[in-house]
């Protein structure tokens, strides 16, 4: 099984085939919409810009409208205003949608840190298909396996990993800097 995201249908790597050039989007419209919905969901009160011309509040109808644009594009059913009315429920819907929408795009790493969910997500064992099964063991391939047999497969995340360590050279150059906690 492999990922088909950003694969052109005319690509052919066999028999001296050609792989078409592709453009990798730096920011997708779905990211803009989900970011807007997430920001609106986390609002307490309202926000007015410097000129006082635009005021934004937590508007359930707008959150449903923009969230459903992503769902409908994928052929999925939308959410209702009742789903979006509760900020906690909406937060979980946004997290799940980002997990699916941005699969294999490198967003999850940053999402887990922004939401402070990395500790729970990374301290679980890796689960997946048994790719070490031989051709004669087809049924074994399709059974779920917990991958913790090798040292490299045992994941560990501690709270200090939310902030990366500063280089010693940087700390030496500026005596007012202090190392991030835990490092």
Tell me the residue range of the domain where 157 lies. Answer: 118-183
**Does 5 reside within a domain?**
no
pLDDT, tens digit only, all 183 positions of the chain: 567 777 777 777 676 777 777 777 888 999 999 999 999 999 998 898 888 888 889 999 999 999 999 999 999 999 999 999 999 999 999 999 999 999 888 899 999 999 999 999 999 888 887 777 788 887 887 888 887 777 777 888 999 999 999 999 999 999 899 999 999
Q: Are 102 and 88 in contact (CB under 8 A)?
A: no
In a domain, 8, yes or no: no
User: What's the pLDDT score for residue 58?
Assistant: 93
Q: Does residue 59 sit in the same domain as residue 111?
A: yes
What per-residue confidence (pLDDT) applies to 1? 54
In degrees, rounded to 5, the angle at the alpha carbon of residue 97 between the alpha carbons of residues 5 and 103 is 25
- The distance from CA 165 to its chain's CA centroid, rounded to whole angstroms, is 23
Is residue 6 included in any domain, yes or no? no
Q: Based on the domain organization, do 104 and 150 belong to the same domain?
A: no
User: What's the structural domain count of the chain?
Assistant: 2
Position 16 in a domain: no
């Amino acid at each position: 099984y492999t990922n088909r995201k950003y694969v052109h249908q005319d690509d052919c790597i066999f028999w001296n085939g050609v792989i078409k050039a592709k453009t990798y989007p730096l920011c997708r419209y779905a990211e803009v919409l989900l970011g807007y919905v997430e920001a609106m969901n986390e609002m307490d009160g309202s926000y007015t810009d410097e000129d006082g011309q635009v005021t934004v509040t937590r508007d359930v109808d707008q959150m449903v409208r923009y969230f459903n644009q992503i769902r409908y594009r994928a052929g999925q059913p939308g959410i209702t205003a009742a789903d979006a009315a509760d900020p906690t429920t909406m937060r979980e819907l946004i997290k799940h949608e980002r997990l699916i929408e941005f699969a294999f795009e490198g967003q999850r790493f940053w999402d887990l840190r922004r939401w402070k969910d990395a500790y729970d997500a990374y301290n679980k064992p890796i689960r997946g298909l048994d790719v070490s099964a031989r051709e004669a063991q087809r049924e074994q391939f399709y059974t779920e396996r917990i991958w913790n047999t090798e040292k490299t497969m045992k994941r560990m995340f501690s709270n200090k990993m939310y902030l990366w360590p500063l280089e010693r050279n940087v700390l030496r150059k500026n005596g007012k800097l202090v190392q991030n906690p835990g490092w």
